[in-house]
Amino acid sequence: MPRLPGPGSSQPEPIHHPISQEDGRPRWRPSALMKSRKAKSSSVPMLVGAFITVVALAAGAFLLLDDDEPGPPQETGAALTLEDEDNEPSMALPPAAVATESPTRLVAEASHMASGAAVTQMTDPEAPTGRIEGTCVNSRDVPVAGVTVRVSSGSPIANMTFSSVREFLDVSAVSNQNGFFALEGVTVGKNYMLVGEHNDYAPATLQGLTVRANETLSDTRLVLRSGATVAGVVATSAKSPIAEARIELYDSVADARLKVEQRRPFRIAFSDGHGHFSFPNVAMSSYKVRVLADGFETQALTVNSALKAGPVDQELQFLLGDGRALTGRVTDEHGQPVDNARIEANALKREYQGNSIAYSDEGGYFLLDGMGIEHAYQVRCTARGYSDKILPSVQVLDGEIQLQMDGRLSIEGYVRNSGGDPVSSFALVLMRGIPNREPALMNDLREFNSSDGHFVFDNLEPGSWGFEARADGYAPARSETTELRRGDDVPPLEIIVRGGGTICGVVRLADGTPVKGALVQINENNFVDTPLLKIFNTMSPSVDKPVKRRTNGKGRFCFSNVAPGTYQISVKHHLAAPYSVNDVVVYDDDVQENEELLLELPAPASISGMALDENRRSLPFLRVQLSMKNGYVESATTDQRGNFRFDNLSGGDYNLTLYPDRRDDKPLNPLLKLVYAQKSLKTVRLYDGQALTGVELYLVEH
């Protein structure tokens, strides 16, 4: 399948924090996470949002148990679920500031914001904007000052289900003494979520917001509540308290996106003289608590309450046995020392979850401290330029261990144009060969500058590999995949790049008026943009980015250096329904001139109505979800009078459902939300250009 030109993303930088005791260099390896923008399914259950949410939550209980390799993020639970404490909060510090020290000495890490390891999305300077105003209050309706308010623009399901994959706009505000905030310059769009963060509360969210051009979305309301308290005691195996033990709290969902060597504590505490510790206002429903103390074994415990009605208070007990040190040395296949290798030992018993981490010195020597003498461990060694080494079962009393590393492999080759001339400046994206399938682009892009077009792509594991070459003035071109084995000589690859094709066109309204500022995008043919796809695209950053252009004042757009193939062209504009055309064939400019496209946007349709309870009382600030069988999902939030509105829609059959987060001021678990959604379901038919009004949705008690 031909690929389109697009900006590549570099390898993620390691996260360093001065407070961490494990701040070593991460090993490098191509990420197995990949991105596919092609939708395989033509049908999704009517309650797609609720279905995806429940599946994701259930999966989280199993996937988050594995700390060895990162996996897709899982549900973190509702952000605002528990009642406030009786005392009023003091003025806020920034979200990453130092917390109070009573009764446990706490240190706040800057590794993640309270809402997860999110991505900041730059605002499009050419896009129209609007404004969001609102108020931050606590559960007793008292204004809260000092709340940092941000706007997430991710998929409606990702925003709701995976807090760690939210994409934030680069706009923010801080509430004043009256709790008021105003967000200026918010790009016009749908499915926005407000996230409010304050040290004295769990993060608060308000979903399903629509921002319209040159309009102010007012009367939004963020209600901040206390999160869960994760507390416990650290003692010896004889139950004598251990003071000054270091307790680390990890966000399992946010960490699932990171390689194990990049994970850092979300918060750190130290036990008091009685061995007690406490983390207040924890909003995470899936997390790991790790305990370290001099002279004792290191222990960890993973907690997952994703299917509960919000964060749950926890009382944990850690009984530490005597700790010992395990020494060893890391060498290469020639017996030479390997420095800066990362060695991690994990207890083989899941209920124990003990682990120890060390880094080798210049002589290759390391020391794993805090290992229990009664437990067997798996030892994994990773180092840049070497394949991972695993010892399946080691005990601390076995004595010094030796880890011999095998060097990784490389592929070399040349990039030339169709005339045989070398291309001196180019980028290569790694591809993994898959039997009977198209090769998959990996999240590994490297740039090369060579007068003869030569490259050496190193640090590869044995396997089937190929490359996609990208260079200015040329369409992307792919090599054949080649099998890489230890001891085999691989002949140099040759990648030929060509100019590709140019495809231009005009976007206009039905009356012939050209549309300025429309966002035109090239996709794979028959592409369907679904919320589930957005979730995995966000969780799996990739070098395979869609190519976008905005139309000029005459409604014109143009794409150059497009690889020959068959594509979909899609158009979005804030005053029209989304539009796409499939089976657009692009030829190489040297072969045939491409036909100009005329894209006529259909008249937008809309749906509006009211959310009501069984007694026909309006329901303010309640999330409403709109979905189609092809997987399309959009969300909105009712205003203070219970009204909702969806605009800029295409004609079709839509399902409308209500999703309450709380009833009688108590949080609901995800399964109960699904029950409410099922009972409120209403299906409507919409035609192009129709304004369907007066739709009533009822929240019926189960």
- What's the structural domain count of the chain? 3
Check pLDDT > 50 for residue 29.
no
Any domain includes 209: no
Last-in-domain residue among 353, 370, 405: 405
Token pair 């060694």 in the structure block, residue: 381
**Per-position DSSP letters for 346-376, written without gaps between them:** EES-TTT--EEEEE--TTSEEEEEEEETT-E
Q: Using only C-alpha atoms, what is the Rg of the chain?
A: 28
pLDDT in the model for residue 79: 27
User: Considering the domain boundaries, does residue 639 fall inside one?
Assistant: yes
- Are 432 and 569 found together in one domain? yes
The least confident of 66-70, 540-544, 679-683 is: 66-70
Residue 3 has pLDDT above 50, yes or no: no
**CATH number for 638:** 2.60.40.1120
Q: Establish if 488 belongs to a structural domain.
A: yes
**pLDDT for res 123:** 58
Residues contacting residue 285 through CB under 8 Å, at least 6 positions apart: 75, 76, 77, 304, 305, 306, 308, 310, 311, 312
8 or 695, greater pLDDT: 695
The pLDDT of residue 155 is: 57
Domain that holds residue 508: 1-43+410-530+543-595
Q: Given a cut of 50, is residue 213 above it in pLDDT?
A: yes
pLDDT tens-digit series, residues 148-179: 999 987 555 544 555 555 678 889 999 999 99
Asked whether residue 499 is domain-assigned, the answer is: yes
Q: DSSP assignment, residue 682?
A: E
383 with 424, same domain: the answer is no
- Which of 370, 405, 440 is the C-terminal boundary of a domain? 405
- Answer for the pair 425, 473: CB distance below 8 angstroms, yes or no: no
What CATH number is attached to the domain comprising 384?
Answer: 2.60.40.4130
Cα separation values, 468 from 104, 157, 589, 590, Å: 53, 32, 20, 21
How far is Cα 236 from Cα 232, in angstroms, rounded to an integer?
Answer: 14
Residues 460 and 556 reside in one and the same domain = yes
CB 626 within 8 A of CB 48: no
Q: Are residues 432 and 560 in the same domain?
A: yes
- Give 700's pLDDT tier (boundaries 50, 70, 90): confident
pLDDT > 80? residue 80: no
Q: How confident is the model at residue 629 (pLDDT cuts 50, 70, 90)?
A: confident
Domain end (from 566, 595, 624): 595
Q: Mark whether 417 and 565 lie in a shared domain.
A: yes
Give the H or E element holding residue 157: helix 156-161
Identify whether residues 665 and 695 lie together within a single domain: yes
Q: With 80 as the cut, is the pLDDT of residue 562 above it?
A: yes
At 532, the pLDDT band (50, 70, 90 cuts) reads: low
| Residues 475 and 524 both lie in one domain | yes
pLDDT for position 581: 95
> Three-state DSSP class for 64?
coil
Q: Could you give the angle at which helices 531-539 and 48-63 cross, rounded to 10 degrees?
A: 30
What is each CA distance from 265 to 15, 410, 604, 690, in whole angstroms?
11, 35, 48, 52
Helix (H, G, I), strand (E, B) or coil at 545: coil
Establish if 170 belongs to a structural domain: no
Interval 34-46: pLDDT, tens:
233 333 333 344 4
Burial, 88: exposed, middle or buried (Cβ in 10 Å; 0-12, 13-18, 19+)?
A: exposed
Count of residues for the chain? 702
For the chain, give me the number of helices (H) and strands (E)?
5, 47
Which tokens go with 184?
Answer: 């200026």
Q: 465 and 490, same structural domain?
A: yes
pLDDT at position 424 is 96
Instruction: Note the pLDDT of residue 93.
Output: 26
The residues facing 47 across adjacent strands are none
What average pLDDT score do residues 71-79 get?
Answer: 30
Regarding whether 505 and 398 lie in a shared domain, the answer is: no
For the residues 640-647, what does the mean pLDDT come to?
A: 92
Each residue's pLDDT tens digit, 572-590: 998 888 899 999 999 999 9
pLDDT score of 102 more than 90: no
| Residues 494 and 585 occupy one common structural domain | yes
pLDDT in tens, 345-384: 998 876 667 888 999 999 999 999 998 888 899 999 999 9
Checking if the pLDDT of 497 tops 80, the result is yes
Contacts of 421 by beta carbon, 8 Å cutoff, 6+ apart: none
pLDDT at position 529, please? 75
Q: Residue 250: inside a domain, yes or no?
A: no
DSSP bridge partners of 521: 548, 570
Is 580 in the same domain as 643?
A: no
CA distance 520 to 513: 17
* The pLDDT of residue 285: 80
pLDDT at 373: 84
Sign of the CA dihedral running 88, 313, 112, 371: positive
Does residue 503 fall inside a structural domain? yes
| pTM across the whole model | 0.70
Does a structural domain hold residue 521? yes
Is 459 found in the same domain as 381? no
Outline where DSSP puts E strands in 188-242. 189-197, 204-211, 216-224, 228-236
> Residue 671's pLDDT is what?
82
